[in-house]
Amino acid sequence: MLNTEKTRPLSVTALLLTFVFFGISENIKGPALPYIQADYGINELQVGYLLSINALGFLLACMLANLLIQKIEVKAVLLIALIVMTLAGLLIFGSARYGQFSASYFVMYFGNGLLEIVLSIIAARMFQQNTVFMMGLCHFSFGMGSTLGPLGAAQLIGWPVGGEAMTWQGMYAIMLGLGIVPILLVAISSFPKQIRHEAVARLSFREHLRDPILWLLAGIITFSVIVELSIAGWLVNLMEKAYGWSSGSAAGLLAAFFFVFMISRLALSPLIERMGYAKSMMLFSALCGLCCIAGAALGSSFFVLFVLAGLGVAPLYPTVMACVTKLYPGNTDGAVNFIIVVWAIGSMGGNVAVGGLTTAFKDWASAWLGQERGQVLGLELGFMFIGLLALIGAYMSWMLLRKMRSMETVRSY
């Protein structure tokens, strides 16, 4: 069944610009992390814990989002998310100590988690025709923000303001302050309500727990998000600390990754429709994993492999959401919320694992090879682990493909 409620151009514009802001907010941390480490004196494991606050905020947002959406309209929840994130920029700006910064970071990612859930639900409600293309367009907008975010962050940090260089805290305040634009647009827009299908009963969270296909979709998106966020968080660190790149050059490489990420989310949609959802997720996740592993193994001369990893990871999120829209009509909100709960829990462990293993690899390699070479090898092995996570996602996509075939599910999947 199609959503027959009229979708206005203003609503689509508001949604796409919110995705741009979402991409900016999600990926300005890459250029800031080396400065955060230097200012607070934290190691890679502590960075992993810091990034896991992202997932903890997501998890709390998941617990509240469904309740909020049921009590108040989805537009109001979207506005709350944007306002919280914009205010978090001011809290980060005023964070003099690591504890204050960690709390402010949590607030930002609580808003970020609400935003993630609400955007996914609104997009699933609005686009029930040409689903992969329209989901790809939304995440093309996310990729645009992800491309502009690292470049803008790198330019702002150190920018002369009143005779002093702008700090990374000031950068956060300015970049998150851009949230005022989607706030104003969302305030004057309207969004569709959940379509109730008479032939489809609403499924409970417990019923979703017994659904093997939904678990596989949740696993695929969990590993893809861990990989995407890990590349966003660690690529600049790898290029600066292991290979001696400048901050601007490393941020430029991250922007190139997200540029490819952005283009592929839109350009690959027709290919995914022809190839089939599960098969395409398997191939693209494998491509991402192999590029990450090969790039870290071969060194900075093969930096283009890190850019190509964006081609692999980019289609995974919108393709999973397209599967959810097709497979769970009338239960889209509940299925999306279930997936994001699983992903939030998995991402907490994933971020800590990447940071912890990178620290362990560095310590082990430094004991054998010396501090300088040990740091390089440790960061490279950490990035190979990120690639391994993408390969696990590819294996889960293969399991999904087999499961769907055995259940004689729609052939295009």
Domain CATH number, residue 337: 1.20.1250.20
Q: What is the pLDDT of residue 64?
A: 83
Report the C-alpha gap between 30 and 148 in whole angstroms: 12
- Structure token digits, residue 193: 């309500």
Q: What is the pLDDT of residue 410?
A: 46
Does 2 reside within a domain? no
Does 27 reside within a domain? yes
Does 1 reside within a domain? no
Mean model confidence pLDDT for the chain: 83
Q: What percent of the chain has pLDDT over 90?
A: 29
Q: pLDDT by residue (tens digit) across 268-323? A: 878 888 888 889 999 999 999 999 999 999 988 899 999 999 999 988 988 888 88
Q: How confident is the model at residue 132 (pLDDT cuts 50, 70, 90)?
A: low
Does 90 reside within a domain? yes
- Scored b (16 or more CB within 10 A) or e, 246-264 reads ebebbbbbbbbbbbbbbbb
Does 5 reside within a domain? no
Task: Please indicate whether residue 2 or residue 56 has the higher confidence score (pLDDT).
Answer: 56
Q: pLDDT by residue (tens digit) across 134-177? A: 777 887 888 888 888 888 998 999 998 888 899 999 999 999 99
- For 345, the domain range is 11-192+203-406
98-126 vs 74-93: helix axis angle to the nearest 10?
A: 160
- Structure token digits, residue 141: 């907008």
The Cα angle at residue 49 between residues 286 and 344, in degrees rounded to 5: 55
Q: What is the pLDDT of residue 408?
A: 57
Q: Identity (one letter) of the amino acid at 337?
A: N
| pTM of this structure | 0.72
Q: What is the pLDDT of residue 54?
A: 66
Q: What is the pLDDT of residue 205?
A: 60
Q: What is the pLDDT of residue 389?
A: 94
Does 3 reside within a domain? no
- Structure token digits, residue 95: 């964070």
User: How many domains does the chain contain in total?
Assistant: 1
Does 412 reside within a domain? no
